[in-house]
Structure 1
Amino acid sequence: MSLRFLLWFLFIICFSSLPLCNGGIAIDLNGYWLTRSSKPDSSTFEASVPGNIYTDLWRNGTLKEDPYYRFNDVEYRWVSKEDWSFWRDFQVPENVTAHKKVLLKCDGLDTVSSVYVNDKLVGASDNQFVQYFFDIKAALKTSKLNQISVRFTSPTKYAADQFYRHIFDHGYVVPPACPPPVQHGECHPNFIRKAQSTFAWDWGPAFPTVGIWRNISIVAFNTALIEGVTVNTSFESTNNTWRLTVGAYLLTTDTPSKAVLGFDIPELKFTRRQSVDLSAGNASVLLSFDIQEPVERWWPNGYGGQKLYNMKVTVADDGGNMESSKNVVIGFREVELVQDRLQQPNATGLTFYFRVNGVPIWSKGSNWIPAHAFQNTISSDYLQWLLNSTVLAHMNMLRVWGGGYYESEEFYETCDRLGIMIWQDFMFACAMYPTTSSFLASVRQEVRASILRLQHHPSVVIWAGNNENEAALATNWYGTSLAFKTFKADYVKLYVDTIRDEYRKYEIVDGRPWISSSPTNGKLSEEEGWIADDPYSNLYGDVHFYSYLVDPWDWTIYPPTRFGSEYGYQSWESMETLLKYALPSDLSYFGHFANHRQHHQFGQIEMLYEIMKRFHVPSPSDSVEKFAALVYLTQINQAMGIKTETEFYRRMRNMMNPDSSGLTMGALYWQLNSIWPSPSWSSMEFGGKWKMLHYYAKEFFQPVLLSPYIDKDGYFRISLINDHLEQISDQMNIRIFDFTNGFNEKSSINVTVNQKPQTASVVYEETVQSLVKRSGCTGRIANCFVMVELDGNFSTVPNVLFLGSPKNATIRKASIQVKGISPVHQSSRTFEITLKASAIAPFVWLEATGIQGYFSKNGHIQYQEVDVIRFHANQDISAGELQSGLKVMSLMDIY
């Protein structure tokens, strides 16, 4: 035993027994444990709880390198194929066993385990997402040291065993058996209830983790322990009163008892006490209160403030001795998923949008995937940076994708504070699933645990049953058509009869909407027996759209959907990020490392094809230099593609096509964050650096946006999108530039524009022929671009429309010099960077190597000789430090 472990162990013995309140006791079992594999020759070493076996082995030195380094995701796969045991000694106070109930509280066991206290089996787990409570009173010793051990079965071995057992017992295969070979993954993740992406995904590695990944403790009580609290709020306009409905879910003793529940919201001077009769084993109490004090509403980002209230829920015995309490942060708001028949004559379909506090919300945001394969390595600073970056980009919604995790408390608390609405998937993705009685029982536990932990957060506005499984079944992704009735029955049994049924036990009617899948046709899917004829319909529900061998800059290829909940293009992460996990010699576009990290079939070819639609492919002799140039082009291509698609969706806010498509009310691009350094659809690199896409999102998600485009009928048009709740009136500037004409405008027009609240419409149109003729761009139209902006009370970032592809334009190579860097108001975190260019420079890209932060704009066109850009650092730095790390380039620097 190491000295560090011994000192920690003595500290725990002396100081870890903490009262829950007056009557209960909680003993923290987190910290350093011991672990070893089941192999006879395995060594014993320290483990960290919460944690996982990979990081334990890396810390111990058994794994010599960062698991993310080069090809270690495959080299270290042996870890997940072994069984592992974790154990530690602990001591309990003499009075613990005097309590009527003593439970081992396991917030996260990953995944299949048997739990022993003093060699007595006290419980077992088979679901990473369940909070388990095991009765350990009879196994405890108060006069000597106790030992707890958790013995885990290999997740890959368990999943394979369940897969083959299902074939033997039920006579059919539940697909897909394995991920595509390009993902270098493990098989049968749909047979184990853990994060599906830990077996590999098209953007991430296979690291099937094992360990105690969330807190573990002992709790003792005599009356009841609060397991979870649910909260619903509704506003009664007739008497200006909020109705607060609180559900308290309690673990109780083995005999019925009486208790007093307390509810306190200090800021509202709200206090209530309620006597209740508790049944044996567990109990639930649902109470409603009217609050007439002035209450501030919680609003999504961009629509108002995010007022939060602290509510304390307590339970005491009938003698007044308090035993358990739980503090929850709540927000007063109403949320609806509006699926109404269209009011326009002869229109077909339903709307699909969120209404919060009676206000229609245009949902702007992205999709969240796991921030790391090893959840215990995600620091608070990193999580805060990722989420704060959404607000900096004017987002108001994130979809927590269904193949990862129900995220940490800090994640949802931060989204509450920032006004980021959460579309929460249940953790089922891209697969059919078994529906054995044991599997469904485990799923019911998962739903209960997840709802009781997360439901009270005002940021959580919808729950979806799965990711893409309705579409997978409807369109035969996995060859299920020959046994469609069987798989449809399994689908309904899992998502409707089990998940929805369990969900409704803890969510009052109309409290938060639930849909069966994403994408889905919503109400129409339900009417069609939960599997729509066309889950990708533009007339109902939400849509996922991907198409790769296309020109991403062409807006006409995109579907006029009601709600775009997934869409995207890949790009590579920067050389700065990649070189932390690869050798320079690894970095060749079609080399072994690139092909290994590219988990999307044909992804390298698709990105290259998309690039060639608009750019020449650079051909320097040095493979690393060429790779760097292609990285830059993939980021331009991704940013321009998502910009084009998102602006199209925003223009369609009030527009309905003759076939009733359109009326789009949401755009959540795929995806926000990256799980490891690789090519992916993310707008932020692993580590938090913004890609060009995130800078573009900061602009195309502005609450007021001018969107120029060339329509199918040969007209140049500009739409004005206004998300504000008030009308806007401003001056619009339209300027045309020619790459060969220096910094001088070819022509300009000023127009007064008006837009009603929460609307989008065309505010300017002119034939392209007229535009070109007036501006004198008739020589080579590709040389010209249009820049539009509002210049007044609602000033906007200039938006650019290229009149042709850059590869067909004559563009001078611009020399861009950094003429000065100075702090803003003596700040050590915000600096002004003055750039001087010798010619118009498209796609100017700045990097602050080694410094985390963001620029006020990036990836832009410098159309004036001198430009000033701000850099906001996340830590104190000097102007000299920024100067030494600053790099600037533009498009022609790669040729």
Structure 2
Amino acid sequence: MNTISLNGQWELYYLSQKDSEIVHPDQLCNGQADRMTAQVPGNVELDLWNAGLIKDPYVGSHIKDLEPFELYEWWYVRDFDTPAKPGRTELIFHGVDCIATYWLNGKEIGRSDNMLIAHAFDVTESLQASGSNRLVVRLQSSIYAAMRQEYDPSMWAMDYNWSQLWIRKAAHGFGWDITPRAVSAGLWRDVELVVHDEVEIRTPYFYTKRIDRHGAWIGIQYNLQADPALFREMTLRFVGTCGESRFERQCRVNFSSGNLDFHVDGAKLWWPRGYGEANLYEIRTQLLHGDVVLAERKDSFGIRTVELVRSEWTSTDTKGEFLFKINGEPVFCKGSNWVPADMFHSKDKARIPRILDLFAEMNCNMVRVWGGGVYEDHDFFERCDREGFMVWQDFAFACALYPQTEKFYEKVREEARFIVRKLRNHPSLILWCGDNEIDMFSFNRQIDPGTNKISREVLPSAIQQCDPYRPYLASSPYYSEEVWERRNAALAPEDHLWGSRDYYKSKYYTESNMHFVSEIGYHGCPNVESIVKFIDEENRWPWRGNPQWALHGSDPMGLDGCWSYRTELMANQVKEMFGEVPDTLEEFAIASQISQAEAKKFFVEMTRLKKWRRTGVIWWNMIDGWPQFSDAVVDYYFSKKLAFSYLRRVHQDVCIMIDEPSDWHVRAVLSNDTFEAKRGSYKIWDADTGRTLLEGHFVATVNGNVDLGRIRISHSDQKMFFIEWTMDGTTCYNHYLLGFPGFSLERYKGWMNQLSLLENGVQV
């Protein structure tokens, strides 16, 4: 294929849709619309900002200035030359937000209404024979489009974003607690012209059927564009290499599609981070006629099986399950939820590599792509493939009850088939999940979650059709028939632990029945250096009754909105831990970060300490998509909060932790999330006195936990224990905070400084 980029500078005309009389590109120069230069990929708000027509939407209250533009229409215009190479030519828009009509040389060539998938148009007959062509894209208001739909009692959304229900664009843009309301528009991913070859090997589907002691059985389904007169004269050759491992297979071409199953002796398997190498085969595919290569391509493929072992419900008295097995082995999952990389998605591509660096530094082995955002592109998944990150992929449905009509089902089928076919070759992708929390919202509204045909019929049938070798979960959390019949959500084996978000060691967290925690979080203030970048000087302090703190909370309605309580929640969590709320921004910020760091560390430890009763934790969340006060452990400007370092310690493959008191003692436990029997030495001591409390040598159980011993304590104490262990020539650290709040903030800061010195090689 010959690919020609149409990215770069376009003309952009814009006007209020209500007042618009423009229905065809020929009318653009009648003086009714304003005009400016736009960048593609881009979002119209960024173009307005670059043109000096709006103020920085990331700062202060300027995001509210964008609301009138929700009702505008936008006309993108670009001229390009006809490709010199002849052939079937497609115009491909990889991301269009959202209600679009397309013209080429004055003729309408198509329409689309889905931001989340690519749109391709055959323009072979629409191009000029030579010379220049004019391409025009009209984007109309998503709000007006939503108003033309019908809304039934079976549907539901949060007060400020009912307009999301029918419109297939990233739900968070209509207003969420993690991003502001920014109902954007734009050509947010690449635009390109593709001239196809006469003979092509289209993207094959690679799959692993099973693993055995000699290697693995894999399969390849192929699809070709070729002259049928040459069927049975052509052959396909597949050559796969991964280090010293190599396989080669050939088959005769009897039709444009077919498949080949075969055994790879001594196959190098793809493993998640911590459990082995993320081995990837480069597969070179050639279509031959005799000895002549008619077409060829290269792909990568990871040989691995994935199984989700789960029960329909669980309780303290029943043996339930929610466990991922990779290549037949149980894997303990540690990771973070993936939220929008930016509130304006044309900026995602530049931010994603650096965000994934954070996941690697944290030693995550799982990334859950949350359903309120977009489907990430191949570069995201390719990095996850190489890093050994397991990707849990939600379909783009979140926190709402969507239309239950055949018209909407067909939209979902088209979207699901496109996304599944696009991403299914990535070994990192281990789970398709129907949505985020829709079962939960349905349950709370006393509607049987099992009646949701989107998650129970439409999506699983698309996966069975296009990707039958990967597991599917209907919702997160998923409420089975048994959970619904008993009207008891606490029976779900996988859950989102939010609750009242009070003291992080409350019974709500410690006594939950679930096996897998797929969302859990705690608020933490950004660093003061970041706060001064996005809060106007007159609004930086105090926090109470502060409209900018509420807006960056993120409440789309400010102090009157349903999320405006978040700032006070953060203050209450500080008071819970330290008995008082500091009266300066600097002290408030550090106290809040300590509260968040201890809470999130505890959430991971309480999960690892109960391995294999609990099998994974995906906390919320790594980084913000705009500047805000949130659960993220890294703010929008990539400035790390204290929680990042605390979580990095307890995400180590081998980690020593201390359990909560019982019978006048605490247990020291070593957890090993690898397939190796690790050996080393350890020491635990009192941070104040330096007195050694427990020490010795250890042999870590393969992929399991081992008790190291017990330490005598008193419940009246408020202490910090430092934990050090050395293994394979590396020394690692953790700590344990003993006692009930409130703690002294000044005393805690002293402990924190000591631990920082230890990690930097300074004896204390």
8 Å CA contact retained: 1:38, 1:85: no
Correspondences of 1:792-807 after superposition (within 5 Å): 797-805=732-740, 807=742
| Cα deviation digits, residues 99-145 of structure 1 (max 9, x gap) | 3x332222222211111111222111111122222222232221342
2:572 matches 1:609? yes
Correspondences of 1:182-331 after superposition (within 5 Å): 186-221=161-196, 223=198, 228-237=203-212, 240-249=214-223, 258=231, 261=236, 263-265=238-240, 270-276=247-253, 284-292=257-265, 294-313=266-285, 322=294, 326-331=297-302
One-letter amino acid of the structure 2 residue matched with residue 672 of structure 1 = M
One-letter amino acid of the structure 2 residue matched with residue 545 of structure 1 = L
CA gap 1:29/1:799 in 2 versus in 1, 3 angstroms? closer
CA distance in 2, matches of 1:52, 1:249: 36
One-letter amino acid of the structure 1 residue matched with residue 102 of structure 2 = V
8 Å CA contact retained: 1:651, 1:761: no
CA distance in 1, matches of 2:414, 2:263: 32
Corresponding residue for 1:496? 456
2:345 matches 1:400? no
Deviation, structure 1 residue 273: 5.0
8 Å CA contact retained: 1:611, 1:633: yes
8 Å CA contact retained: 1:341, 1:349: no
8 Å CA contact retained: 2:499, 2:508: no
One-letter amino acid of the structure 1 residue matched with residue 656 of structure 2 = L
Corresponding residue for 1:88? 78
CA distance in 2, matches of 1:28, 1:260: 33
Q: Which consecutive unaligned segments of at least 5 residues does structure 1 have?
A: 1-19, 180-185, 621-625, 655-662, 739-743, 773-779, 814-839, 845-859, 872-895
Corresponding residue for 1:439? 408
CA gap 1:667/1:507 in 2 versus in 1, 3 angstroms? same
8 Å CA contact retained: 2:550, 2:566: no
CA distance in 2, matches of 1:683, 1:562: 24
Corresponding residue for 2:605? 647
CA distance in 2, matches of 1:754, 1:241: 30
2:466 aligns with one of 494, 506, 515: 506
2:503 matches 1:551? yes
One-letter amino acid of the structure 2 residue matched with residue 633 of structure 1 = A
CA gap 1:124/1:533 in 2 versus in 1, 3 angstroms? farther
SS of the residue 1:458 aligns to: coil
SS of the residue 1:206 aligns to: coil
One-letter amino acid of the structure 2 residue matched with residue 686 of structure 1 = Y
SS of the residue 1:497 aligns to: helix
SS of the residue 2:260 aligns to: strand
CA distance in 2, matches of 1:173, 1:702: 45
8 Å CA contact retained: 2:268, 2:303: yes
SS of the residue 1:675 aligns to: coil
When normalised by structure 2's length, the TM-score is: 0.88
CA distance in 1, matches of 2:48, 2:276: 47
Corresponding residue for 1:571? 524
CA distance in 1, matches of 2:215, 2:509: 48
Deviation, structure 1 residue 693: 1.1
Deviation, structure 1 residue 339: 2.8
CA distance in 1, matches of 2:293, 2:678: 59
One-letter amino acid of the structure 1 residue matched with residue 217 of structure 2 = R
CA gap 1:41/1:347 in 2 versus in 1, 3 angstroms? same
Corresponding residue for 1:890? none
Deviation, structure 1 residue 652: 0.6
Corresponding residue for 1:464? 433
CA distance in 1, matches of 2:591, 2:734: 20
| Cα deviation digits, residues 790-841 of structure 1 (max 9, x gap) | 355586634333333564559669xxxxxxxxxxxxxxxxxxxxxxxxxx81
8 Å CA contact retained: 2:59, 2:536: no
CA distance in 2, matches of 1:798, 1:555: 28
Correspondences of 1:594-743 after superposition (within 5 Å): 594-598=549-553, 599=555, 600-617=563-580, 619-620=582-583, 626-654=584-612, 663-738=613-688
CA distance in 2, matches of 1:48, 1:500: 38
Correspondences of 1:876-895 after superposition (within 5 Å): none
CA RMSD of aligned residues (A): 3.2
2:63 matches 1:73? yes
One-letter amino acid of the structure 1 residue matched with residue 423 of structure 2 = L
CA gap 1:794/1:138 in 2 versus in 1, 3 angstroms? same
1:410 aligns with one of 376, 379, 391: 379
Q: Which consecutive unaligned segments of at least 5 residues does structure 2 have?
A: 17-30, 556-562
Corresponding residue for 1:869? 760
CA gap 1:61/1:703 in 2 versus in 1, 3 angstroms? same
2:129 matches 1:156? no
CA distance in 2, matches of 1:868, 1:144: 65
Correspondences of 1:25-64 after superposition (within 5 Å): 25-39=2-16, 41-63=32-54
| Cα deviation digits, residues 51-96 of structure 1 (max 9, x gap) | 2212222223322x22212112111222232111112112214653
CA gap 1:158/1:327 in 2 versus in 1, 3 angstroms? farther
CA distance in 1, matches of 2:288, 2:69: 46
Deviation, structure 1 residue 214: 1.8
Corresponding residue for 2:695? 750
SS of the residue 2:693 aligns to: strand
8 Å CA contact retained: 1:229, 1:453: no
One-letter amino acid of the structure 2 residue matched with residue 685 of structure 1 = D
2:96 matches 1:126? no
8 Å CA contact retained: 1:265, 1:309: yes
One-letter amino acid of the structure 1 residue matched with residue 462 of structure 2 = E
2:324 aligns with one of 354, 358, 369: 354
Number of aligned residue pairs: give it.
733
8 Å CA contact retained: 1:309, 1:329: yes
Deviation, structure 1 residue 679: 0.9
Corresponding residue for 1:374? 344
| Cα deviation digits, residues 492-540 of structure 1 (max 9, x gap) | x2122211101111113xx21111111125xxx2x55x967567445x5
Corresponding residue for 1:657? none
2:388 matches 1:419? yes
Deviation, structure 1 residue 43: 2.1
Corresponding residue for 2:24? none
Deviation, structure 1 residue 470: 0.9
Deviation, structure 1 residue 729: 4.8
CA gap 1:728/1:555 in 2 versus in 1, 3 angstroms? farther
| Cα deviation digits, residues 11-35 of structure 1 (max 9, x gap) | xxxxxxxxx1xxxx43332222211
Corresponding residue for 2:558? none
Deviation, structure 1 residue 218: 2.6
Correspondences of 1:505-524 after superposition (within 5 Å): 505-508=465-468, 511-520=469-478
SS of the residue 2:752 aligns to: strand
CA gap 1:448/1:351 in 2 versus in 1, 3 angstroms? same
8 Å CA contact retained: 2:102, 2:111: yes
CA distance in 2, matches of 1:561, 1:454: 30
Deviation, structure 1 residue 246: 2.0
Deviation, structure 1 residue 427: 0.7
CA distance in 1, matches of 2:551, 2:658: 40
CA distance in 1, matches of 2:6, 2:421: 23
8 Å CA contact retained: 1:737, 1:747: no
CA gap 1:217/1:750 in 2 versus in 1, 3 angstroms? closer
